Homo-oligomer: A and B are copies of this chain.
Amino acid sequence: MFSHNKRLQYTVRVSESNPGLANLLLEQFGGPQGELAAATRYFTQALGETDPGRKDMLMDIATEELSHLEVIGTIVAMLNKGSKSRLSEAVDSEAEMYRRISGAGNDSHVTQVLYGGGPPLTNSAGVPWTAAYVDTIGEPTADLRSNVAAEARAKIIYERLISCTDDPGVKEALGFLMTREVAHQQSFEKALYAIQPNFPPGKLPGMERFSNVYFNMSQGEGDERGSWNSDENFEYVSDWEQQCAVDGGSGLPEVALQADEKSLVAQTMQRTRSDPQQDPMTGAMLGAGGGNGIAPTKSVRR
């Protein structure tokens, strides 16, 4: 069960109204790398988890991320506090209001008109948050890796946001949130490596002959070698012929159809066949009457 304490995890001190900055910060409120994504990611993992240590850790961190969602949302609310009342009281002239809402330097018209200056669960482009951002699949050696990566991404987005504001109170609170991602990443790393073995993830072994092959499928000026495709670590295959049909078969698909299916497939093929023998008049040819400055195309010329 959750409880709420009215004090924030980190005190929010905002210097002045700034709806444009508020809009930018939505990235970490309702954006793909934001705090709702983090909180729901760990919360849903915790519910499905049976290992007591991981379950506890996931719920600890989920709860903290919810508290971070509150911090970032509160910053947005503070930055919008002035403009929210300006809009709801409609004291400016219409031209002035339009200029404020649509003006240069921010993208906040949606936030203002649609959400009334409250913090919506969208990213900074106004795209609604979707659970498609949450990549939990219910297997710890995969999910913990996903968590490690998610913390790394969130750390970077905070870093970018910090570079975009000189409001000291906002910078400081963002710095705290960024730092916590670093701490969380370390916990997830510990929990991952406390499972041994954890690689390859899951239970099924791979096919040994393909586990350490590297297919050099992009070729030309710029081909590079390093530990990620070195001869020490991988069998490096550059010949395109050897990249095809690596099982040694024909490389062509087949399915064993039943007799009635075969005859139906033949019937469909016949009915919908594009006859290669004819050269039909087409709609494009009907439409290429000429005239608008382009040469008639070859097929039309005929």
A217 to B216, CA, bound (A): 19
* B77 x A253 contact (CB < 8 A): yes
Which residue on B lies nearest to A288, using beta carbons?
B199
List chain B residues, Cβ under 8 A from A175: 204, 206-207
Contact with A284, one of B53, B75, B199, B206 (Cβ below 8 angstroms): B199
- CB-based nearest B residue for A101: B164
* Given contacts A48-B118, A127-B127, A183-B213, A243 and B102 within 8 Å (CB-CB): no
Contact of A228 among B253, B274, B288 (CB under 8 A): B274
- Distance of A216 from chain B, by nearest CB (Å): 6
A 233-291 contacts with B by CB, 8 A: 233-235, 240, 243-247, 249-258, 261, 264-265, 267-269, 271-291
Q: Which residues of B contact A198 (CB under 8 A)?
A: 287, 289
Question: B residues within 8 A CB of A86?
Answer: 261, 264
**Residue from A125, A133, A183, A269 with most neighbouring chain B CB atoms (10 Å):** A183
* Pairwise interchain contact B222-A85, C-beta atoms closer than 8 A: no
Judge whether B1 and A287 touch: CB under 8 Å: no
Which residues of B are found within 8 Å of A134, using beta-carbon distances? 120-121
Docked complex Cα distance between A180 and B199 (Å)? 14
Which one of B12, B243, B274 lies within 8 Å of A140 (CB-CB)? Answer: B274
**CB neighbours of A3 from chain B (8 A):** 2-5, 63, 217-219, 240, 243
Separation of A112 and B157 alpha carbons in the complex (Å): 10
Shortest distance between the CB of A245 and any CB in chain B (Å)? 5
Chain B neighbourhood of A268, CB < 8 A: 50, 84-85, 88-89
- A13 → chain B, closest Cβ, in Å? 6
A45 and chain B: residue at smallest CB distance: B118
- Cβ of A192 within 8 Å of any chain B Cβ, yes or no, is yes
Asked if B234 contacts A298 (CB within 8 A), the reply is: yes
- Interface residue ranges of A109-134 to B (CB < 8 Å): 109-110, 112-134
Q: In the complex, which residue of chain B has the Cβ closest to the Cβ of A158? A: B204
* Complex-state Cα separation, A292 to B199, whole angstroms: 9
Find chain B residues with CB under 8 A from A256 CB: 14-16
Contact indicator A243/B9 (Cβ below 8 Å): yes
Question: 6 shortest A-B CB distances, which residue pairs?
Answer: A116-B138, A7-B251, A48-B118, A11-B249, A6-B220, A125-B126
Known contacts A198-B287, A294-B206; is A51 also within 8 Å of B273 by CB? yes
A162-216: which residues lie under 8 A (CB-CB) from chain B? 162-166, 171-172, 175-176, 178-180, 182-183, 185-208, 210-216
Residue of B nearest to A112 (CB): B160
On whether the beta carbons of A255 and B4 are closer than 8 Å, the reply is no
Q: Is A38 an interface residue (CB 8 A)?
A: no
Contact mask for chain A residues 48-66; partner B; CB cutoff 8 A; 1 contact, 0 none: 1011111111011111101
**Cα-based distance from A48 to B255 in the complex (angstroms):** 13
Are B195 and A119 in contact, with the CB atoms below 8 A? no
